[in-house]
Amino acid sequence: MTTSARADALDRLIHERLRLGIVSALAVNDSLSFSDLKKLMKTTDGNLSVHARKLEEAEYITCTKSFEGRMPKTEYRLTASGRRALERYLDHMEALIRATRER
């Protein structure tokens, strides 16, 4: 896979609404728990798990599992490459808007 092709694939990874939401929410928080993200995204456990896993596999976010008393707790954090991907995505969107206005 060429670098540009990989960049395109990565962009598509956060282009999906729920994944874009997860990354955006984590960009303004040190960390968010699974239940915080679920509430924020108004989604189901299964849906959030699937999309968070995809972001985790791309190393855009990290996932830490621990116990709070007897309750399992899953916490997510945005990685440096995740933050860069969001910034690239924002640049891409802004460039699209600029290009349309200049036309």
Partner 1 sequence: MASVTPLHRVPPTEPPALHARAMDNLRFIRDTMEAAGAFTAVSGWGMVAVGVIATVAATIASAQHSVLRSIYVWMAAAVLAPCVMLWAIVRKARRAHVPLLSGPGRKFVLSFSPPMFVGALLTVVLYRAGLVGAIPGMWLLLYGTAVVAGGAFSVRIVPVMGICFMLAGTLAIFTPTSWNDWIMAIGFGGLHIAFGVSIAVRHGG
Three-state secondary structure readout of 39-98: HHHCCCHHHHHHHHHHHHHCCCEEEEEEEECCEEEEEEEECHHHHHHHHHHHHHHHHHHH
Nearer to partner 1, 1 or 71 (CB): 71
Closest distance of CB 71 from partner 1, Å: 12
Site map (CB under 8 A) of partner 1, residues 69-88, x = contact: -----------------x--
Residues that bind partner 1 (CB under 8 A): 15, 17, 20-21, 24-33, 36, 40, 86, 90, 93-94, 96-97, 99-101
